[in-house]
């Protein structure tokens, strides 16, 4: 429940203390016509970072450590078998029921929850990720930008607003492009047929090398084709990824060139899918009814993922007594499963027994101190149990390993607030605001932190004043948009 309510958007701007974001200033690239003659890797990375800040501030990004852990693992499995990797990839979830995934500058790949909810198996999900990874490694957006003939009206703001919003929410994106009169950005939104063919070819090779079933690519495109026949409006994915019938045939024929590779069912995929359906697809009562129906229809075989999804819906509806036997059975068979441990924390916190979660998670944290699911659940339970020093210690240590983890920042901010440490609280708020590119608000929070510093704390005052100057300078950089 903690992670469900933390869908980060522009209104959620609280965080922990980390100065690295402000110290890592950037110089925004000039996207005038002459600058489009080349798109260096560093320039592409910077544009991608700015886009990612905009996504955090305007889109329903899901910061769910369990789902993040799964998606990152799957994405990195594919990246490790891809060629032409120029920078680290990052994968994130968007809470949207539509089938879609998108990649943009700098190796950022976003995945709609609707994609996994409607995928039949992990190979289908991986086929889409492999395709998007290929768009990045082949630099299709950067190459398209370079090849644009009429760039006189193209600005960084128009590029980011148009491309970004259309990838995440096409209707909004088209409106933004029209409103800013950056019609030249429209051509950046749709991959060319040649780019799609190249991404299909390279993505399928990556898919196969990573151990997945290459036939899944054709299966997924066939599913999209079927949706076109029954909908007046095509799926979002097809607005930026054209799907002529010949492409489906080409993908199927290409898959036949690979040796058969049946891919064993992965329980983690089904657990992630159940979590999305239970937590992010809307009505809880409807989700509960669906899981009960599926359990009756599929009483044979491994029903762990269905029982897990049912347990989640029951916890979210505070039907704790019905949920507990399901959790007990799941944990008995797989006591260190991260999906189950996370749900057990939600169960104890929801029942008002957070201390039990603290005690249960302590030995797991000793074994895996850097795992985000265990550490953040442990810290969350500690906060709810009013063990603020423990929570602060856990989160500050975790920040050394993952300094930009937004949910960890949120939890540390909550810890400072509960401790009434106002200086640390405002400095923490400033840090997360910087993650959204809200540098003026970040500067205001640093100023509030200064107001709570004692006169004899000269070093702390000096550090905060330097941070204030950095945020103001970075705001000027963003104003150049």
Residue 62 bridge partners (DSSP): 7, 93
Strand, helix or coil for residue 48: helix
Q: How far is CA 319 from CA 212, 272, 285, 340, in A?
A: 39, 21, 11, 17
Instruction: Write out the DSSP string of 401-437.
Output: H-TT-HHHHHHHHHHHHHHT-HHHHHHHHHHHHHHTT
Q: Quote the CA–CA distance of 274 and 270 in Å, as a whole number.
A: 6
For β-strands 90-94 and 108-112, DSSP reports them as parallel
3-class DSSP state of 265: coil
Q: Alpha-carbon distance 471 to 114, whole Å?
A: 37
Q: What is the spatial distance between Cα 279 and Cα 318, in angstroms, rounded to a whole number?
A: 14
Short-list 50, 46, 60, 65, CA closest to 410: 65
* Given the residues 64, 68, 132, 316, the one annotated as active site: 132
Q: Which of 234, 232, 216, 233 is nearest to 224 (CA)?
A: 234
Whether 132 is a known active-site residue: answer yes
CA 55 to chain centre: 10
- What CA–CA distance (Å, rounded) separates 374 from 346? 12
* 3-class state of residue 234 by DSSP: coil
- Is 196 marked as binding a ligand? yes
Task: Name residue, tokens 């590029």.
Answer: 159
Whole-angstrom Cα Rg for the chain:
23
The annotation status of 445 as a binding-site residue, yes or no, is no
Q: Which of 44, 68, 200, 414 is catalytic?
A: 200
Q: Is 457 annotated as a binding residue?
A: no
* C-alpha pair distances (Å), 242 with each of 164, 287, 337: 18, 33, 39
Q: Is 329 among the catalytic positions?
A: no
The number of beta carbons lying within 10 Å of the beta carbon of residue 38 is: 9
Annotated binding-site ranges for Zn(2+): 131, 135, 196
Which sequence positions are flagged as catalytic?
132, 200
């Amino acid at each position: 429940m903690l992670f469900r309510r933390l869908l980060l958007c522009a209104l959620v701007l609280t965080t922990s203390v980390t100065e690295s974001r402000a110290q890592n200033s950037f110089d925004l690239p000039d996207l005038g016509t002459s600058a489009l003659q080349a798109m260096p890797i560093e320039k592409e990375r910077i544009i991608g970072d700015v886009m990612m800040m905009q996504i955090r501030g305007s889109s329903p990004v899901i910061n769910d450590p369990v789902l993040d852990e799964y998606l990152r693992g799957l994405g990195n499995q594919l990246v490790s078998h891809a060629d032409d990797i120029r920078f680290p990839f990052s994968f994130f979830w968007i809470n949207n029921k539509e089938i879609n995934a998108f990649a943009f500058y700098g190796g950022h790949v976003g995945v709609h929850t609707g994609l996994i909810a409607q995928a039949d198996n992990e190979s289908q999900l991986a086929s889409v990720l492999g395709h998007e990874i290929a768009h990045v490694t082949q630099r299709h957006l950067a190459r398209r930008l370079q090849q644009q003939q009429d760039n006189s009206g193209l600005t960084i703001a128009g590029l980011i607003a148009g491309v970004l919003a259309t990838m995440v929410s096409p209707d909004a994106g088209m409106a933004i492009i029209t409103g800013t009169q950056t019609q030249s950005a429209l051509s950046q939104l749709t991959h060319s047929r040649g780019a799609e063919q190249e991404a299909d070819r390279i993505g399928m090779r990556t898919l196969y090398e990573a151990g997945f079933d290459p036939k899944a690519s054709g299966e997924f495109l066939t599913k999209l084709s079927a949706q076109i026949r029954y909908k007046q409006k095509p799926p979002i994915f097809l607005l930026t990824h054209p799907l002529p019938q010949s492409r489906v045939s080409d993908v199927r024929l290409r898959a036949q060139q690979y040796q058969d590779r049946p891919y064993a069912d992965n329980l983690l995929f089904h657990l992630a899918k159940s979590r999305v359906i239970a937590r992010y697809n809307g009505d809880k009562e409807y989700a509960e009814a669906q899981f009960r129906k599926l359990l009756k229809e599929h009483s044979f075989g491994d029903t762990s993922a269905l029982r897990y999804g049912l347990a989640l819906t029951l916890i979210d509806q505070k039907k704790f007594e019905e949920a507990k036997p399901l959790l007990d059975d799941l944990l008995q068979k797989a006591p260190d499963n991260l999906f189950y441990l996370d749900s057990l924390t939600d169960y104890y916190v929801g029942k008002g027994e957070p201390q039990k979660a603290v005690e249960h998670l302590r030995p797991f944290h000793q074994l895996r101190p850097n795992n985000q699911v265990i550490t953040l659940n442990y810290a969350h339970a500690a906060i709810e149990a009013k063990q603020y020093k423990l929570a602060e210690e856990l989160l500050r240590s975790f920040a050394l390993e993952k300094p930009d983890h937004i949910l960890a920042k949120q939890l540390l901010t909550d810890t400072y607030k509960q401790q009434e440490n106002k200086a640390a609280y405002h400095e923490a708020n400033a840090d997360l605001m910087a993650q959204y590119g809200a540098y003026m608000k970040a500067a205001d929070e640093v100023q509030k932190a200064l107001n709570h510093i004692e006169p004899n704390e000269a070093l702390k005052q000096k550090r905060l004043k330097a941070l204030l100057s950095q945020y103001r300078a970075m705001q000027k950089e963003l104003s150049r948009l």
